[in-house]
Amino acid sequence: MASESHKTDKERFEEEVLQFLNGLYGYALHLTRNPEDACDLVQETYARAFKAWKQYTLGTNAKAWLFAILRNTFLNQRRSTKRRPTEVPCDWVDELPREDVPQLLRFGPDPYDKFLNDLLAENIEEGLALLPETFRSAVVLCDVEGFSYKEIAEILDIPIGTVRSRIHRGRARLRELLEKWYLEGEGELGS
Amino acid sequence: MSCSFVRDNLHDFVSGELNSSDAERIENHLQSCESCRACVSNMHGFRSRVRNLLKMTAPQELRDSILMKTSE
Ligand SMILES: [Zn+2]
């Protein structure tokens, strides 16, 4: 077996960064909303990461580093292709109640469990797509990828207080939308 | 310690971002307050449902082509 020092750059790269492929692909899907574009974005991310790998110092947070490259690549592509989708309106931001007590809570825990069970991945994707990009990113990075607020602040390049408020409001809005669809469908969520 | 403290810090609490003394205060309150307990448990449930549903697996072709590119 080769010792650490005999490992090639390629071997180290594969070991340390390829483990995040599934997470990066999932995040790319939420940004692009299209599997083909998501694959392109992840490819480009790894190509950039591999190029920068020699400057990369061990001990840096490799996962956060990769997610930041992916998001920056996405923003640059969107800027250059001018394929910028119309940003979703966010007038709901100021309308959210300060206390986050969801509507469904008044039904008690059992109906809430039923609501959660009935949720489909498509419902959540649809709800997330209605959030502005920084809100969507903050929620996905925190709730799906398990990043800390501090890591998210670095990835999104915004202050930690802004991360906190994006997560609060993003989650609350997502929940509000899903519960609304659920109640409108009288307990059914279509895809 | 009041219900409003729990509601105000609900998101940071379920994210695991509260300092340990505030988190402990909330945990103590939850022992005796059914409505805050339901609130926290629903938020935990929502968060883990989102996480489970959105966990993706990258296509094998994507993995292969990244490995190929780094070998060039
Ligand atoms: Zn209470």
CATH topology of domain B3-71: Arc Repressor Mutant, subunit A (1.10.10)
What are the C-alpha distances in Å from A131 to residues A125, A126, A128? 10, 9, 5
A149 contacts A138 by C-beta, under 8 angstroms: no
Q: Mean pLDDT across chain A, nearest whole number?
A: 84
- In tens, the pLDDT along A112-144 reads 888 999 999 999 999 999 999 999 999 999 999
Q: Which residue has the higher pLDDT, B15 or A189?
A: B15
Judge if ipTM > 0.95: no
Helix axes A9-17, A35-52, angle to 10 degrees: 130
Tokens of A149: 């607020």
- In tens, the pLDDT along B9-68 reads 999 999 999 999 999 999 999 999 998 998 899 999 999 999 999 999 999 999 999 988
- C-alpha–C-alpha distance, residues A159 and A18, integer Å: 29
A161 contacts A55 by C-beta, under 8 angstroms: no
C-alpha distance from A142 to closest chain B C-alpha (Å): 7
Structural domains in chain A, sorted by start: 8-81 (1.10.1740.10), 91-184 (1.10.10.10)
Residue in A43, A113, A121 closest to B54 by CB: A121
Taking the Cβ of residue B44 and every Cβ of chain A, the question of whether any pair is shorter than 8 Å is answered with no
Taking the Cβ of residue A66 and every Cβ of chain B, the question of whether any pair is shorter than 8 Å is answered with no
- In tens, the pLDDT along A55-113 reads 766 667 889 999 999 999 999 988 877 655 555 666 666 555 544 555 555 555 578 88
pLDDT at A1: 47
Helix (H) or strand (E) holding B69: helix B60-71
B54–A26 C-beta distance less than 8 A: yes
Tell me which of A7, A12, A25, A136 to substitute to probe the interface with B (most B C-beta atoms closer than 10 Å): A25
pTM comes to 0.87
Q: Separation of B4 CA from ligand 1 center, angstroms?
A: 7
